[in-house]
Amino acid sequence: MIRTGTTLNIVRIGCDITYSSLKTIGERLINAFNGIIAGYELAHHDSPFIESIDAQLLTMILQQEIGGHTLGITDADLMTGDKDEFYHTIFGGKNPKNDIAVVSTRKLAPKKITTSSDYELFLDRTIKVSLHEVGHNLGLTDHAAYRTAPDGTLCPMSRGEFNKFGTAGYVRAIIDGRGQMFCDECTNFLQQVYGVKFRTGKFVNGTWIRLEKRNNG
């Protein structure tokens, strides 16, 4: 079990995502998990250029070389042993035997990144998949249904129905639809397990805006 106030290791694995983007991911994770993650450390794992890598193998490598509570981010496809074409590569995964999660950016970028808006979309998607996988590290489970958070966006743990949309459709319908605020079920779980009280708020143009609850009647 990860302890409250833990430090998250964010490891860039042989990809060209910038360190400033990794810092943005780290700050968003700290805000989203509200005290469970106290800080983050950035690291780079040298890796030869590869198109794909077995997801389980990558988590084992990171466990041996980094350890602790770790999120690895790679631009290689994360492979599984599943024969289904959709499930054969995954956006992210978590090793159930440790606290290592990995995210692939391969299918998250627009076809071409030529503007700042294109890159912001790519970074936003990477943050959302990272929230999902770090959520698994903290004990959260997938929502097969499209469960919403208080701000109306999909909970980061919403998985949906994979084969309903196809890969590109899944990114637009599910990942783009997720927000950075958790649903009540996830929030209650994290509060009970980690003893933290969640703030109600959301990111607007990169800034955390606190949402005040109104009493009806």
Residue ranges of the domains in the chain? Answer: 6-196
What pLDDT score was predicted for residue 1?
A: 66
E strands, 28-149, in order: 37-45, 52-54, 70-74, 77-79, 89-90, 92-94, 100-104
Map tokens 């958070």 to a residue.
Answer: 149
Strand partners, 19: none
Average pLDDT over residues 190-208: 72
pLDDT, average across residues 55-70: 94
Instruction: For residue 7, give the DSSP letter.
Output: E
Output phi, psi for 73, to 5 deg: -125, 120
10-38 pLDDT, tens digit per residue, is 999 987 789 999 999 999 999 999 889 99
Spatial distance between the Cα atoms of 28 and 103, rounded to a whole number of angstroms: 15
On the question of pLDDT at 212 being above 90, the answer is no
Task: Give the rounded percent of residues in the chain with a pLDDT score beyond 70.
Answer: 87
* Greater pLDDT, 150 or 211: 150
Flag whether pLDDT at 59 surpasses 90.
Answer: yes
Q: What is the DSSP letter of 200?
A: P
Write the class of the CATH domain 6-196.
Answer: alpha beta
As a whole number, the mean pLDDT across the chain is 87
Confidence of residue 47 (pLDDT cuts 50, 70, 90): confident
Q: Is there a contact between 147 and 183 (Cβ–Cβ < 8 Å)?
A: yes
Q: Are residues 58 and 78 in contact, defined by beta-carbon separation less than 8 angstroms?
A: yes
> Predicted confidence band at 213 (pLDDT cuts at 50, 70, 90)?
very low
Distance CA 41, CA 36 (A): 15
pLDDT at 50 > cutoff 90:
no
Q: What pLDDT sits at residue 4? A: 86
Q: What pLDDT was estimated at residue 34?
A: 84
Confidence band (pLDDT; 50, 70, 90) for 201?
Answer: low
The mean pLDDT value for 54-65 works out to 94
Taking only the tens place, the pLDDT of each residue in 144-170 is 888 999 989 999 999 987 667 788 889
Q: Which 8-state DSSP code applies to residue 155?
A: P
Q: Which pLDDT score is estimated for 200?
A: 59
Residues 204, 93, 111, 145, CA torsion sign:
negative
Place of tokens 């599943």: 82
Spatial distance between the Cα atoms of 72 and 209, rounded to a whole number of angstroms: 28
Of all residues in the chain, the percent with pLDDT exceeding 90 is: 67
Please report which residue ranges of 6-115 form alpha helices under DSSP H.
19-33, 55-65
CA distances from 42 to 10, 23, 30, 71 (A): 5, 8, 14, 10
* Residue 215 in this model has a pLDDT that exceeds 50: no
Neighbours of 147 (CB within 10 A): 18
